[in-house]
Structure 1
Amino acid sequence: MHRSQAEQAADRVRSAILDGELPPGSHLDEGGLVGELGVSRNTLREAFRVLAHEGVVEHLPHRGVFVRRIERAEGHHIYAARRHLECGALRDLAVRAQPVDARLIDAVDAAVTRAEFARERSDWRTVGSANAEFHLRLAALGENPIVDRMMRTLTVEVRLLFLGTGDPLEVHARYVDENRRIIDLVRAGHFVRAAAAMELYLLRAEAHIVRDESGPEGFVTEL
């Protein structure tokens, strides 16, 4: 599918933001980006509109366009939405009681493996992107395109939230092993246990990321 210049420009700006090159609160200099991206001001402004619709940037009157900063209250809403979508997708697999496409499970597993290898290299940026892919792929097990679309939007907000918390090692390192345990439960067909594990995981992650507290020590290991 052919993508317009504005969409391509939005892709590049979005990638720079989600890779941490443009942190939350950064002012997006229109003149500099026009030269860097090789597009017109009108094209860049259309790209900004795309990104604003996605919640990646925000336009502040008389000040310009800025990378969106997620406030604490929004962080709680983000985690509530994650619990609805991700845990709901896993519970739905149990309700349907039908085999899950093994290729979809393999895709979730591959995301976890990528995070594990990146962790060994202390490549925390890759760990972060692999963790995001894990959650997207996990929700996609239900093969519901509406859930997939909602998860893609939510994942951008999650990444922005993480970027505002600081050290990527502190943000991502502790979750890799839990991702592995959850996909192992899914592969074994224990969907209700996987949903319960994911709910506890997200509650503790919310306490860690949004409240800046450690929450209850450790993760539940037997469900």
Structure 2
Amino acid sequence: MTETEPKSAPRTATIVSVAVVAGLGLGLAAVYGIGGLQRNAGAAGNCSASIAAAARIKPLVKGEVAALIPADAQPLLVSGLAFNGSDGKPVALSAWKGKTLLVNLWATWCVPCRKEMPALDRLQASSGSDKFEVVAINLDTKDPEKPKQFLSEIGVAALGYHADPTLGVFKALQQKGKSRGLPTTMLVGPDGCEIGTMNGPAEWDSADAKAVIKAAMGN
């Protein structure tokens, strides 16, 4: 796998490229919401709260989260993105409606992903509530037990386990220009709309990251 660094990021953030599995046809696109992502009509639309949240976080995008890009006036509505839940059954982000989410795409073969998982786990342990949750989605395409074993070995206990071995979620975000590789992390508002997106790793339990999340939630 090749690694690249986003030129616009003041801090060093490694991104591992994803070779999208061939054969993701229209059938999978329909199931996993590739065609369901859409731009909101603007401040008067259903994403108005997330547009306001994106404006609040702009002054706080620095340090550990300097590579985070706040959403513009027409953020993506991502509530239709679907993947497998902890029970192995399909679930969509709409199941978390009413919560602010930090949605993280990761894989065991992605070195920077592996390094940031403990921070995501600590963030969920310290800040997870009925108002906020970290939703980490594993993208390993082979051996579904491998990522579970990895998380167990490093002591991850607070994060729920979600998986998308089809890479449908990644492909959906890639087609909208939101994901260039792994890890990809998106801050999503209670309305199911994008607040900000980051390509590359971060210390998600750092003061910088928590300040952004707090501001996004209006606290």
Q: What TM-score results when the alignment is normalised by the length of structure 2?
A: 0.28
Query: Which structure: larger Rg?
Result: 1
Larger relative CO (CA 8 A, sep 6+): 1 or 2?
Answer: 2
TM-score by length of 1: 0.28
* Larger helix fraction of residues: 1
